[in-house]
Amino acid sequence: MSGKTCQETVALLADYLEGKLSPADRAGLDEHFVTCPRCVRFLRSYQETPRLVRDTTAASLPEEVRDRLQRFLAEKQRK
């Protein structure tokens, strides 16, 4: 894995986080992360995405806003 580009490293992030990489590939990514703070930041944001999605979708709209939105969407569907 040594010598991979950032693009190649990012392409393997899902497998890296799910533990699906071979030990050699995982070690190569770990090595890349030691020397590439940009990829470390990307890895951290990639790890944080599921929590952000959960938090965002768990939020509820105030009833008045929800009703106005439903009326607006119903009107758009009629057009």
Residue 25 included in any domain:
yes
pLDDT computed for residue 3 by the predictor: 67
Which range marks the domain in which residue 57 is found?
6-78
Q: Per the structure block, which two tokens stand in for 74?
A: 């119903």
Residue 67 included in any domain:
yes
From the list 9, 75, 17, the residue with the least C-alpha distance to 49 is 17
Residue 57 included in any domain:
yes
Residue 1 included in any domain:
no
Residue entry with tokens 């992360």: 33
User: Tens of pLDDT along 15-62?
Assistant: 999 999 999 999 999 999 999 999 999 999 989 988 888 888 877 888
* CATH (domain of 48): 1.10.10
Number of domains comprising the chain: 1
Gyration radius of the chain over CA positions:
21
